[in-house]
Amino acid sequence: MAQNERKIFNAIGNMTLLLDTQHNILAANRAIVTGLDKTEEELKGKKCYEIFHRTAQPPESCPLEKMLRSNSMETFEMVVEALNGTYLVSCTPLFDENGNLEKVIHIATDITEHKRAEEEVKKYREHLEEIVKERTAELIKKNEELERFNKLFVGRELRMVELKKTIAEKERKISELEKEIDDLKNKCI
């Protein structure tokens, strides 16, 4: 790698590797060297999955394996055991002048805090949904009570209206009877 290319490679803030098609590390930028606390020489020639996943073979979701099949950039979200976090890992093919796959650019972006925040939001949302369910159940119960009281009071009011009508009718009849009695008294006198 030329000196100017090396400067650019090391300036990349995300952990970046240059790999061959067999997962062997050809170069590692400063972010990886710092993140793993290893020298680039210690990493060169090692399999990326041995270093990052501490396994003897690539993980099932390996973006390099998928990229080898598709011949285009592949990205996966994965747990990286050596870095104790979750990373968005992408592998981009580099082709030679004849169009043959020559090398792979492997970039790992730390999304651990983002994943933790997503989990917190998920828990909070579930908590809020539970509160809404509880409040809704309480409101339904209160509404049912109000409807029952409303029916009782409306029934009572209807009975009172009927009683008032009956009383008014009786008062009218009494008044008529009193008038008849007065008329009879007047005739008798």
Q: What is the CATH number for 86?
A: 3.30.450.20
| Span 62-107, pLDDT tens digits | 999 999 999 999 999 999 888 889 999 999 999 999 999 999 999 9
Q: How many domains does the chain have?
A: 1
Taking alpha carbons only, the member of 54, 60, 44, 52 closest to residue 85 is: 52
Which residue do the tokens 């159940």 mark?
137
What mean pLDDT do residues 131-137 have?
A: 91
What mean pLDDT do residues 134-141 have?
A: 90
* CA pair distance 90, 7, nearest whole angstrom: 21
User: Where is pLDDT greater, at 35 or 184?
Assistant: 35
Q: Answer yes or no: is 27 within a domain.
A: yes
Q: Answer yes or no: is 33 within a domain.
A: yes
Q: Answer yes or no: is 58 within a domain.
A: yes
| Span 164-183, pLDDT tens digits | 888 888 888 888 888 888 88
Q: Answer yes or no: is 68 within a domain.
A: yes
Q: Answer yes or no: is 177 within a domain.
A: no
| Span 6-64, pLDDT tens digits | 888 889 989 999 999 999 999 999 999 999 999 999 999 999 999 999 999 999 999 99
Q: Answer yes or no: is 19 within a domain.
A: yes
Owning domain of residue 93: 3-110
List the beta bridge partners of residue 108. 15, 89
* CA pair distance 89, 84, nearest whole angstrom: 14
Q: Answer yes or no: is 24 within a domain.
A: yes
